[in-house]
A and B are shown apart, each in its own frame.
Chain A
């Protein structure tokens, strides 16, 4: 019985998250109409009059996530393919810890690196090319976030590629296909649902990542898809709105919970979809 209660803590946590986020959001939506929150193009919680339109933040979040995925998907996927199909056992043994080490680096460290090393570098290169680069460009935050996600994609894809039955590979190789043709035409199609779910989990990680964007992306919410401009994200706004002393009844504070609700909803939907996909795929081969 005690054990059952302990396992219920996990459920209680989820309910607690939902309750706290929903409750504060309801209070917020009594003040600010839902439609102006969802479709407003201005985000200025401290301005007068304050504006609470989430679109610029969504745009910023999507922009940085897309940059991160463009970086991480090829790197992670090719790493996984090389490790599982080409690498000798010794090479595999020495390269896996590198990925694990990268996965274990705290995001505040990556944020520091993005803000102090990558962003100035990109700005320098951009200015050299005659481009106008913001000092807190979306590109710097996105690139570093992409590197953060590489281990996630590669380790998940590695598991999935290894789960593809060897008989499929043997069949393809026996027909005279080269290893790369086998990977492209047999292994990857068979592993596709699993890889898709890995990418979904990666998207959810990127959307919810906070420290890298707090340190390396901007605070001003610009509605822009220019990777060289400064944009802000949902997580940046939650963090900055709630840091320091805050009274609990102001729209400004409550809006952070409304943003949290949106974030929770998106990541939960992605996770559930990803888990479903994996489960379906597993049954397929068992």
Chain B
């Protein structure tokens, strides 16, 4: 660069403008990446406590009368008060009981059903702490009485465990017991219905439009229609589901069946567009060669073109599945938003899905549900991430250059 040029004011100005412009671009990308990083850090920071739970090992002496009456609640309470003899007034006793989860009773019943013990014996019961005590021990809230917590940790061995309960239990009103199993199974059923129907109709439509359709007004309308459908807001599909599937057809409310139907229509354009691209990528020479050795039009497409396009179609199907898995709004319209503690057993049972569970929990006032919400989000994002990684892997593994 000659010194003459460096002193030229116009050139200097233009160079500065160039550098500035470049910086704007870099800044835009940096800001977007930063947002994503901050979002993920924020969610993980809020969600990790929900994967840990605190339990105590409580020695329960089996009183013969209470055992005969199956009064497990009474047994647990006796065992707790035996450890806190100073709690005499109603208020004090209530404060002590507030440290433990209500689930202790059922846990003890299950434990005794599995390993029966005679009256008078002392068994060790694993008792879950309540959400407030749990949060206190994690240092996240100070709603629990600090003196009671100190007494608890001094008298009973409190241990922290990975919360399998979060994955093995359905929703609950009690924050410490609530898990995502019901929502996960609901999501699985819903997405299975959506993907099954979406794939059948989507691939068939793609084959028709790409391989057989004559160029006329009808196919033109179908094509424009698919493009427009891809951009219709998802909540509108919920209105369709409510008016058609629930009210006109009378299908069961809140069921994965209806949710799956609605989502299959939602992902249909995605699958059609991906499948068409995959079919288009197969060179015409394949089809022509098949036709040349005497295959019929159908045989050429179904025996030769379609198998070669399958990896591409599969990639599109996985991306469509990911979209269906994360969708919330249309499912609110068809009633998948109710509180459901049971794990759904079939596609016609009332169910909820993971994103809707996240929405429901995010609205609850208890602090423990906030970390459960973030933890459920972590699971949701992990599944989506895995699906996308699988799609990318398949694309790289089976992609062919013709």
- In the complex with contacts A7-B204, A95-B29, A112-B362, A238-B328 CB distance below 8 A: no
- In the complex with contacts A9-B205, A210-B234, A239-B333, A112-B373 CB distance below 8 A: yes
B52: interface (CB < 8 Å): no
Please provide the chain B residues from 299 to 345 with a CB less than 8 Å away from any CB of chain A in the complex: 322, 326-329, 332-333, 337
Partner of B328, one of A3, A75, A108, A272: A108
Chain B residues within an 8 Å CB radius of A2:
204
- In the complex with contacts A178-B14, A235-B235, A242-B242, A98-B204 CB distance below 8 A: no
- In the complex with contacts A10-B225, A79-B25, A207-B233, A215-B359 CB distance below 8 A: yes
Contact B225 A14 (CB under 8 A): yes
Chain A residues within an 8 Å CB radius of B355:
106, 108
Contact B377 A208 (CB under 8 A): no
B231: interface (CB < 8 Å): yes
User: How many angstroms from the CA of A190 to the CA of B101 in the assembled complex?
Assistant: 66
User: How many angstroms from the CA of A85 to the CA of B388 in the assembled complex?
Assistant: 27
B200: interface (CB < 8 Å): yes
User: How many angstroms from the CA of A78 to the CA of B17 in the assembled complex?
Assistant: 15
Chain A residue with Cβ nearest B19 = A180
B207: interface (CB < 8 Å): yes
A129: interface (CB < 8 Å): no
Contact A102 B329 (CB under 8 A): no
Please provide the chain A residues from 96 to 123 with a CB less than 8 Å away from any CB of chain B in the complex: 98-102, 104-113, 115-117
B140: interface (CB < 8 Å): no
Contact A267 B231 (CB under 8 A): yes
- In the complex with contacts A17-B232, A180-B21, A211-B239 CB distance below 8 A: no
The B interface, classified by DSSP as helix, strand, loop or mixed, is helix
Partner of B235, one of A8, A108, A110, A263: A263
Chain B residues within an 8 Å CB radius of A243:
332-333, 337
Chain A residue with Cβ nearest B36 = A102
B54: interface (CB < 8 Å): no
Chain A residues within an 8 Å CB radius of B272:
7, 10
Chain A residue with Cβ nearest B202 = A6
Chain A residues within an 8 Å CB radius of B358:
108-109, 112
Please provide the chain A residues from 12 to 71 with a CB less than 8 Å away from any CB of chain B in the complex: 13-14, 16-17, 20-21, 23-24
- Over the window 183-201 of chain B, the binary record of Cβ atoms lying under 8 Å from chain A Cβ atoms (1 yes, 0 no) is 0000000000000000011
Contact A104 B322 (CB under 8 A): yes
- Over the window 250-278 of chain A, the binary record of Cβ atoms lying under 8 Å from chain B Cβ atoms (1 yes, 0 no) is 00000011001001100110011001000
Chain A residues within an 8 Å CB radius of B384:
104-106
**Chain B proximity of A149: nearest CB distance (Å):** 11
Contact A242 B333 (CB under 8 A): yes
Chain B residue with Cβ nearest A235 = B235
**Chain A proximity of B279: nearest CB distance (Å):** 12
Contact A6 B328 (CB under 8 A): no
Contact A117 B17 (CB under 8 A): no
B26: interface (CB < 8 Å): yes
- In the complex with contacts A75-B32, A242-B242, A260-B204 CB distance below 8 A: no
- In the complex with contacts A11-B222, A208-B234, A21-B39 CB distance below 8 A: no
**Chain B proximity of A93: nearest CB distance (Å):** 12
Chain B residues within an 8 Å CB radius of A235:
233, 235, 329
Contact B236 A3 (CB under 8 A): no
**Chain B proximity of A215: nearest CB distance (Å):** 6
**Chain B proximity of A63: nearest CB distance (Å):** 18
Contact B362 A115 (CB under 8 A): yes
Chain B residues within an 8 Å CB radius of A184:
21
Chain B residue with Cβ nearest A271 = B231
User: How many angstroms from the CA of A194 to the CA of B66 in the assembled complex?
Assistant: 77
Chain B residues within an 8 Å CB radius of A228:
none
User: How many angstroms from the CA of A85 to the CA of B29 in the assembled complex?
Assistant: 13
Contact B239 A21 (CB under 8 A): yes
Contact B240 A75 (CB under 8 A): no
Partner of B18, one of A179, A256, A268: A179
- In the complex with contacts A9-B205, A113-B42, A113-B43, A106-B22 CB distance below 8 A: no
Chain A residue with Cβ nearest B359 = A108
Chain A residues within an 8 Å CB radius of B296:
none
Contact B239 A256 (CB under 8 A): yes
- In the complex with contacts A109-B377, A239-B333, A272-B228, A211-B359 CB distance below 8 A: yes
A137: interface (CB < 8 Å): no
B208: interface (CB < 8 Å): yes
Chain B residues within an 8 Å CB radius of A256:
239
Please provide the chain A residues from 182 to 202 with a CB less than 8 Å away from any CB of chain B in the complex: 183-184, 201
The CB with the most chain B CB atoms within 10 A, among A24, A104, A150, A183, is that of: A104
B68: interface (CB < 8 Å): no
- In the complex with contacts A102-B32, A104-B384, A108-B328, A267-B232 CB distance below 8 A: yes
Partner of A13, one of B238, B240, B356: B240
User: How many angstroms from the CA of A55 to the CA of B248 in the assembled complex?
Assistant: 31
Chain A residues within an 8 Å CB radius of B390:
none
What are 15 A-to-B residue pairs whose CB atoms are below 8 Å?
Answer: A3-B204, A3-B207, A8-B222, A16-B244, A17-B240, A74-B28, A75-B32, A78-B29, A100-B388, A106-B328, A179-B22, A205-B231, A210-B233, A238-B239, A239-B332
- Can you name 19 extra interface pairs (CB under 8 A) apart from A10-B272, A180-B17, A260-B235? A3-B204, A6-B200, A7-B208, A17-B239, A75-B31, A79-B28, A102-B36, A104-B326, A105-B39, A113-B43, A178-B17, A201-B231, A205-B231, A211-B359, A215-B359, A235-B329, A242-B239, A267-B231, A275-B228
A binding-site residues for B, Cβ under 8 Å: 2-4, 6-11, 13-14, 16-17, 20-21, 23-24, 74-79, 81-83, 85-86, 95, 98-102, 104-113, 115-117, 147, 150, 178-181, 183-184, 201, 204-205, 207-211, 214-215, 235, 238-239, 242-244, 248, 256-257, 260, 263-264, 267-268, 271-272, 275
B binding-site residues for A, Cβ under 8 Å: 14-15, 17-18, 21-22, 24-29, 31-33, 35-36, 39, 42-43, 46, 200-201, 204-205, 207-209, 212-213, 219, 221-222, 224-229, 231-240, 242-244, 247, 265, 268-269, 272, 322, 326-329, 332-333, 337, 355-356, 358-359, 362, 370, 373-374, 377, 380-381, 384-385, 388
